[in-house]
Amino acid sequence: MSGGVVVGGWEYVWMAYGLTSLAFLIYGVTLITRIREERLRASMDGNRE
């Protein structure tokens, strides 16, 4: 901070953007994994019937 103005701060900007992208990416991957598992289980349930 210099004279009421924030100086620099790019590290905080990258931290916020990095965390957001990483969270969306990890959540997206877990969703794809989970839906594949559920589809497989549903097809196995169908075969059993």
Partner 1 sequence: MEIPSVATSRTPYVFLAIGVLCLLAGSYAGLAVAPAEQYMGNVQRIMYVHVPTAWNWMLAILFSFGSAIVFLFKNDLKWDNRLEGGLEVGTLLAFLLCCQGAIWAKPTWGVWWDWDPRLTTTAVLLFASLGILALRKFVEDPVKRAIWSSVATIIASIDLPIVYYSVKWWNSLHQQQSSPSTVSSQFHLPLRLNAFGVLFLMIGFIMIRTRIAAYRMQHELAAPPLAIGEEAGELA
Interface with partner 1 by CB under 8 A: which residues? Answer: 1, 4-10, 12-13, 15-17, 19-20, 23-24, 27-28, 31-32, 34-35, 38-39, 41-42, 45, 48-49
Q: How far is the CB of 25 from partner 1 (least distance, A)?
A: 10
CB contact at 8 A, 27 and 33: no
Closest contact distance (angstroms) between CB of 19 and partner 1 is: 6
Angle 36-40-44 from CA coordinates, rounded to 5°: 170
Closest CB 24 distance from partner 1, rounded Å: 6
| Helix, strand, coil distribution of the chain in percent, nearest 5 | 80, 5, 15
